[in-house]
Amino acid sequence: MIDACQDWAERSHMRINHEKTEVMMFYETPSQRTTRFPSTFHITTRFPLSQPPQTLPLKEPLTFKYLGLTLDPYLTMKAATKHICRKINAAHQKVAAVAHSLRYDSSATAGGIRTSPYVLFRIW
């Protein structure tokens, strides 16, 4: 797959940025990792033609974000679950604050703002 992307990029007179490109193997066992040859992923640049080909290594991160979802090699979704729980807790706190305000603030003390959570809490 990496070679196909590299070939397409060179036909289009483009280069793959090896510093930003990352490769992750999913569900790879330790024995598979030790027998993998070559041990790291790399690309061989042949463009521009005025320079000799270079073999550049690609990074293998422990986790990475894809479309906002944090993935790890075993797809445990722990990081994604933590992120979702933080967002749910923050939303719950805002709703609880608005409910408390609507329940206990009198219109005389709030000055009429009680009916507008946007003005009171800058929620939206």
Query: What pLDDT, on a 0 to 100 scale, did the predictor assign at position 86?
Result: 94
**pTM, entire model:** 0.57
Cβ(17)–Cβ(47) under 8 Å? no
pLDDT at 115 over 50: yes
**Domain ranges for the chain:** 1-61, 77-124
Query: Residue 68 above 50 pLDDT?
Result: yes
Q: What pLDDT score does 94 carry?
A: 93
Q: Is the separation of the CB atoms in 72 and 33 below 8 Å?
A: no
Residue 116 has pLDDT above 70, yes or no: no
